[in-house]
Structure formats: C-alpha cells, structure tokens
Amino acid sequence: MNSSRKHRVLFFIGSLSLVLIVSLLIAMVVIQSWRYTEAGKVPLKTGVILHAVNEQLLPEGLSTPSFFVRPVAPTIERQDRLMETSDGEEIAVRTYSPVQAGPHPVIVYYHGGAFMEGYGNIETHDNILRALANRTNAIIVAPNYRVAPSYHFPTALNDSFETLEWVMNHASELDANMDQVAVVGDSAGGNLAASVIMKAKESNLSVHSGVFLYPLTTFEDLPFASRDLYSSGYYFLSRSVMEKARSAYTPNEEDWLNPLVSPLLMDDLRGFPDSLVVTAEFDPLRDEGEAFAERLYDAGNNVEAVRFKGTMHGFVSFYEVMGRADYALQYVSDFLKASFNGSRGFVSQPFQVVEMDEGDTLQDEVEAYGMGMYLLWQKLTRLVSS
C-alpha cells in the first residue's frame, strides 16, 4: 500500500471513529436529558422508562420488552378457572401454585387498572403474579373482576370479596393453608384489597396480612400535594384518568363518600391485619396512600409505610428491568413471608413513612444507557419509515 493510500485509509478510519464517538456522546446527552421531568429530576433508568412509555416506544404497552428480560425457570403451575358470582355470572380466576406439595399460604391479588376496561387485567399483571408466587412459595389467586363501563360499584368489590370466599371454600382443592391468607392489590386493586378486608371483618373471615401497592384510597377531592405535582399523566397516572375512573366506577356521586369506595374515610379501621403500604415518590396517589397507612396506625394496627424514591405509579410492573422495582417486589415478598411465619417485627412509636432509596448501581446505569440507545434506534427507525 503506498503512502498516499495509507494516509487516506487512516484518515477515513479516524473520521469514522470521531463520528461514532461524537454520535455516542450526543446520544448519552440526550438520554441524560430524559432524567429531567416536569416535576423534577428522576433516576436515569426511571427517566428512560418514563420516556419510552410516554413516547409510545414500547409496542407492548407497559410490558417489559423481551430484549431486556432475564428468563427464570418455572417453579409454579398456572391454571385458569371460572368462578360463579352471586348474581349468576362467571368471572375468570387465575391461580399460580407451587409445584411442591402444600399446604401453602394464599395470596389473593387484585390487579390495578382504574376500575375500567382496557387499563389492566390479570394478563397485564401476569409477570408480577408469577414473580410473587415464586418469591413467596405461596398460592396466588387473581380474579378478573368485572369493570366499568359495563359494571359499576359494587360489582368489582363483590367479585373481589367473593373470590376470597371462594378461596376459603376451596382450600382443600387448592392445597391451601387457611391460617395464612393475605390480601394484596395495586392501585385500584389496592382500593379493593382494603375494602375486601373491611367486608371480611364484618363477615368474621380471617385475613392474616394485607399489602397495598400505591393504592387509591379516596374518591373525594382532598388537597393532597402529590395529586397536583404528579397528575399530568407523565408518571403513568393522570388526573383525567382518575376522574374518568371515578365517573365510570361510581356514577352516583354519593358513593364517593362510601367507605367501601374510599377506605380512607372509614370511621373505624381497627382490627386490620398486619399491613404494608407501598408508595412511589412520583405518584399522584402517594399522599393518600400514606395517609391511609397513618390512619391504620392510629387505629392500633401493625403497619409499615414505605416510600420508594425515584419511582412512579405502577413501577413494580417493571421489576425485570428496574432495580428499584425489583427491590420493592422483594420487600413485599419478604414482608409476606415474615408475616405468614409470625417473624415480622413492627415499630410501635412513632408512625413514620420510611423512604427507601437504594440508588442506581453501575449495572443500572449501564443498562439504562443500553435501553436508551435501543429507544433512540426505535425513534430513528420510525422517523426513516414515516
């Protein structure tokens, strides 16, 4: 190769390397900019996920792209069943059972989804349900309760409570330990979980523990700061969706003050089981969830209130790619296991919301940039094809 040609080759390689380095730096700056949201700075991976969902860059909606998921060997058996309701209809009930012989504890799980069709069901929560079954070695029973606009209050609540009764009537078939029954729900499901526990108290049905993930606790227009700060919709839940859900689920405004719709307004919260209330920092429902936890505490119950920093509404759904969410799901699992075996300790005085801030590890940072590069490629591909 002559000297002139060699210089041209080296110049080309150098120029290409420079372009790649500059492009990479620009991409990193763009990805970093996603941390700065309308209500403040968020962790890098949280910012990437928020950007991906709000820009509709995930074709599977809120589900995790398979590209980033680490497969786990199955240790549970999933089964779909039908349960006849008291009004003569049938709803789907999905169970997740450990492959080992029992009897096992039971977790009745109520999915979130704003009480409305198209916002959530047992399919959208399948990853959480599988993981919870794996991590607790418990039987998960998840009803596909009926939702608005076809069904109004109290249909969803009745379906949810009747699922608890169904579990108790089928304990032998499920290989379930009925001394270890927990009720768990997220968002709208957290609302249902609280109301189911209240109905269980009235019916003398024993519930061992309760977990409420970023729960909706009141339909009343109360002045919670988080409702104003994080209700634009960028953090996965908007004020417009909340108002739409309220109108669809409870078209009768008098029901908004019903304690079975707004558990925060219940006069007597005594006798609740050991409870864990999980809230997210960037969530319009944060303050009302923590207010509910404080009311449980003031009523003499054992309760933990934990706020996960750097997270948004519904964040546990991203446990496969979000370290903070994985930690939260493990925290919930450990709480349930300890509660089942009676080893969970509770601080007696005073009530406080514990803030969990694990911070992002180097792995989280690297993965966030990897996800960001993938999303930028998706945007570029979309731009070219349009």
Q: Please state the φ and ψ torsions of residue 348, each to the nearest 5 degrees.
A: -80, -35
Q: Give the model confidence (pLDDT) of 134-163 as tens digits.
A: 999 999 999 999 999 999 999 999 999 999
User: Is 125 among the residues known to form the active site?
Assistant: no
Domain span(s) for CATH 3.40.50.1820 in the chain: 66-360
**pLDDT tens digits, 102-128:** 799 999 999 999 999 999 999 999 999
**CA 120, chain centre distance (Å):** 11
**Does the pTM exceed 0.85?**
yes
Cβ–Cβ < 8 Å for 183, 197 = yes
Annotated active-site residue 283? The verdict is yes
Nearest to 94 by CA among 140, 145, 132: 140
Burial of 135 per CB tally in 10 Å (0-12, 13-18, 19+): middle
167: CB partners within 8 A, 6+ apart: 106, 108, 141, 174, 176, 181
| Fold entry, domain 66-360 | Rossmann fold (3.40.50)
Instruction: Name the pLDDT band for 282 (thresholds 50, 70, 90).
Output: very high
Q: Residues of the chain with pLDDT > 70: what percent? A: 91
pLDDT of residue 9: 66
Rounded to an integer, the average pLDDT of 175-187 is 96
- The residue annotated as part of the active site, out of 187, 226, 317, 333, is 187
Residue with tokens 């994080």: 230
**pLDDT per residue as tens digits for the range 308-350:** 999 999 999 999 889 999 999 999 999 999 999 987 877 667 8
Give yes or no for residue 227 having a pLDDT over 80: yes
Q: Which of 159, 186, 274, 283 is catalytic?
A: 283
Note the pLDDT tens digit of each residue in 303-314. Answer: 999 999 999 999
187 is an active site residue: yes
Amino acid letter, 268:
D
Candidates 159, 313, 317, 364; catalytic one: 313
Tell me, rounded to whole angstroms, the distance of Cα 336 from its chain centroid.
Answer: 16
